[in-house]
Amino acid sequence: MAFSSPSSASWRKDVMSQSIASYFNKGSEDGQTVVNEASRETSTGDTADNGVLGGNPAANQEKDGGVAKTDDNELDPMTSRIEGGVEYKSMVWWQAGMVMVAETISLGILSLPGAMATLGVVPGLILLVSLGAMASYSGYVIGQFKQCYPQVHSMGCAGEVLFGRWGGEILGWGQFLFYVFIMGSHILTFSIMMNAITEHGSCTIVWMVIGTILSLVFTLPRTLKNLSYYSVVSFISIIGAVVITMIGVSITKPGMRLVDGHEVLTVRLWPRDNLSFQDGFLAVANMVFAYAGHVAFFTFISELRNPRDFPKALAFLQCSDISMYIITAIVVYYYAGDEVASPALDSASHVVRKVAYGIAIPTIVIAGVVNGHVGVKYVYVRLLRDNSEDLMHQKTWKSYGIWVGLCTVSWLGAWIIAEAVPVFNNLLGLTSALFASWFTLGLSGMFWMQMNLMNGGRWWKVVPRNGWTFGKAMLLLVNVVNIAVGAILVSCICDLEQAERC
């Protein structure tokens, strides 16, 4: 897709010099900033009416072994400036797709049959498909934003472009804290799983320590390409756990009811009677957060060999999660009925539950590892991206020691949170409400506006760069809806969390 460079020189100076150079590149020479600005001046092209800027700063790129190279790639912190250094930009699209699947699809998929039982088959299917479509589009916008701003490596960098320094601080550290809580939830899930398998609940603390050490070890590779091979195992693992769960409930049929002297399976097409707003909204929230992997997309794109392949990886992810979510939710709900447990593993027999948990071990560990890696990578890049010796790409004890130290501190913090905080589920739910819905839907709408409708770098000025068209008006509506949904989810879930604590 061809991109045209922004037409306003003052806009370019404002965004690039103030939002990027003044903060992320504050240790760089002024001359380098001028060179990067000049490279933008050479980028030309027409704006296509396709929902994103037609202007890609990488319009005049050269190919070298399939790797896209431009002057603007110097702004990407994952591009090495030394010979023989660590090559972060090494993933091909299917590897990125596997990592994205491992990050997004975990045991949370087994909460969807319970959501389907609450909402009914028809609303449940409509929501799963609609939310999947919204997540697909918002992920695509994130990919286009990354092409337009190659220096963006995380939600913190994107916040810097949108809102300036403080926006970058809030989104960046919000992203990191979000990941630490997710890491803690995976440690907790690991202990629950081991207790279920061993039937020895007194060893919870020991299982948490083991889960933390395992996760730390698998997080030590510095490139996502290495994690992609683990992610293949995670993908097979979650499919195996889901299939075993579906087979188990289809054999035991816990939803079987006696009607007129006959045992029948009953499925509701519509929400149950007297459904409360709290129960209904929490069911919807479970479906929304099943698609909430977008917070890591910038990091994944940064480590793609060719960032233009991101739509392929995104398509792989979305086809996988939408199909798996629909099949799992309907099949398990059909056989388990209205009393389906959440997670759905608890609806299966005792033996099937233990087998499924055992097969799910790689998913529980690796999904936490991928999230932990992205969280640590944000701090690692933040510390070293302006280092004059390009320490981030060196293969030295010092550079690797910094990575190992950050991984250790982060997983230790996650373990402390999982072990010590008595209301961990409330904190995790509140953190998810504050950040996950924005990272998945709300911010992508703002990214689209920054690329298409901004005037003078001010995101609130809804002025199209090249005039209104019907398609652009419809896409504006779609992105406004994404922002509104993100805001509604934040406000409603925060209210529910507060009501539960009261």
Copy the structure tokens of residue 143: 């990919």
Copy the structure tokens of residue 282: 């929490």
Residue 420 near residue 401 (C-beta atoms within 8 A): no
In 3-state terms, what secondary structure has residue 78? coil
Cα–Cα dist 225/93, whole Å: 11
Copy the structure tokens of residue 306: 């060719």
Q: From the centroid of its chain, how far is CA 294?
A: 3
Top-confidence residue, 220 or 453: 220
Instruction: Name the range with the highest mean pLDDT among 214-223, 249-258, 337-346.
Output: 214-223
Residues 6+ apart with CB under 8 A from 426: 497, 500, 501
Task: Provide, rounded to the nearest whole percent, the portion of the chain with pLDDT above 70.
Answer: 76
Residue 362 near residue 354 (C-beta atoms within 8 A): no
- The pLDDT assigned to 302 comes to 92
Residue 288 pLDDT more than 90?
no
Top-confidence residue, 479 or 40: 479
The secondary structure of residue 19, as a DSSP letter, is: I
- The pLDDT assigned to 379 comes to 93
Mean pLDDT confidence for 4-21: 35
- Please give the mean pLDDT across all residues of the chain: 78
Domain 9-501 fold is Hydantoin permease (1.10.4160)
Q: 416-435, pLDDT tens digit by residue? A: 988 876 555 555 666 666 67
Cis peptide before 343 (omega within 30 of 0): yes
The confidence band for 47, taking pLDDT boundaries of 50, 70 and 90, is very low
Mean pLDDT confidence for 99-112: 86
- The pLDDT assigned to 42 comes to 32
- The pLDDT assigned to 139 comes to 95
The confidence band for 309, taking pLDDT boundaries of 50, 70 and 90, is very high
Residue 89 pLDDT more than 50?
yes
Residues 6+ apart with CB under 8 A from 306: 66, 67, 68, 92, 93
Widest CA span in the chain: 85
Residue 471 pLDDT more than 90?
no
Q: Per-residue DSSP letters for 430-456?
A: HHHHHHHHIIIIIHHHHHHHHHHT-BT
Closest CA to 23 of 177, 178, 171: 171
Cα–Cα dist 336/160, whole Å: 48
Top-confidence residue, 14 or 144: 144
Report domain extents, the chain. Answer: 9-501
- The pLDDT assigned to 325 comes to 94
Spell out the SS3 assignment of 307-340: HHHHHHHHHHHHHHHHHHHHHHHHHHHHHHHHHC
- The pLDDT assigned to 152 comes to 92
Locate all alpha helices (DSSP H) within 149-164, ordered by sequence. Answer: 155-163
Residues 6+ apart with CB under 8 A from 143: 297, 301, 307, 310, 311, 314
Residue 228 pLDDT more than 70?
yes
The confidence band for 65, taking pLDDT boundaries of 50, 70 and 90, is very low
Residue 501 pLDDT more than 80?
no
Where is average pLDDT lowest: 232-241, 253-262, 391-400? 253-262
Spell out the SS3 assignment of 389-414: CCHHHCCCHHHHHHHHHHHHHHHHHH
Half-sphere CA count of 371, side-chain side, radius 13 A? 30
